[in-house]
Amino acid sequence: MMLDDFLVRAVLAGLGVALAAGPLGCFVVWRRMAYFGDATAHAAILGVALSLALSTSIFAGVLVVSLLMAVTVSALSGRGYAMDTLLGVMSHSALAFGLVAVSFLSGVRVDLMAYLFGDILAVTRGDLAVIWGGAVLVLLLVGLRWSALLTSTLNPDLARASGVNPGREQTVLTVALAVTVAVAIKVVGVLLVAAMLIVPAATARPFSRTPEMMAAVAGGVGVVSVLGGLRAAFVLDTPAGPTIVCVAAVLFTAASTASMLLPSRS
């Protein structure tokens, strides 16, 4: 069977994450939510620890804890703390508590490197089903709410005047972000999830005339990063997850350089 080839499974898993993270990452960039994505991703380690302790699904545990983190940050924002300060505290605290919790798991062998930096080459058929199920859910959420999400991102007051509830759209983004983190942990790991959200979107920005074009280009950049990263990892014998992010970073550098050298468009 074709899916018995671990490289094919790795490619399919990477493509699923890239296609979900690209369009969603555009909203993370537009809303300046980079730290928000980081905090949600770092909370995933605590979700892993709780899942192993309770012998439940890793995906379910990561999803629940990531959602709780995102909802908590949203609830506490604007209550006396600057958003970047609040996110910094929550992000690193969640990661630290997660790592400490893992150390208390007696009798459970935990490969922390796989969760921190991903283990895309160990993706199973079950993992593929979870990754693509999550990716389709994220794409449906973003696609069906695209107009409302875009309006509330660009101008919350205009959104309210148009009958759109910005708070509801924030919740949609929060759910989509938590799902993306939960499915991406196997591919690029907790520490690199935010990079797959932000770097492709930032790469696409200089060459996109419309939001829709930016979302499509970001998805394409993510796909190229996955394919190029897996190929480079195979040739250079390097960790696959970090190599994928390295390729995305090289594409961002090339795009930034090109945008500075090319004449600006009117």
DSSP characters over 3-71: GGSHHHHHHHHHHHHHHHHHHHHHHHHHTT-HHHHHHHHHHHHHHHHHHHHHT--HHHHHHHHHHHHHH
| pLDDT one-digit tens code per residue, 163-173 | 888 888 888 88
Q: How far apart are CA 79 and CA 83, in angstroms?
A: 9
Which domains does the chain possess? 2-191 (1.10.3470.10)
Q: How far apart are CA 29 and CA 31, in angstroms?
A: 5
Q: Answer whether 149's CB lies under 8 Å from 169's CB.
A: yes
In the predicted model, what is the mean pLDDT of the chain? 84
Q: How far apart are CA 225 and CA 173, in angstroms?
A: 24
For the chain, give the percent of residues with pLDDT over 90.
Answer: 29
Phi (first) and psi of residue 51, to 5 degrees: -65, -45
For the chain, give the percent of residues with pLDDT over 70.
Answer: 91
| pLDDT one-digit tens code per residue, 107-120 | 666 667 777 788 88
Q: How far apart are CA 94 and CA 66, in angstroms?
A: 10
pLDDT of residue 83: 67
Nearest to 227 by CA among 13, 23, 2: 13
| pLDDT one-digit tens code per residue, 172-225 | 888 888 888 888 888 888 878 888 999 999 999 988 889 999 999 999 999 999
pLDDT of residue 266: 43
Confidence bin at 4 (pLDDT 50/70/90): low
Q: How far apart are CA 17 and CA 4, in angstroms?
A: 20
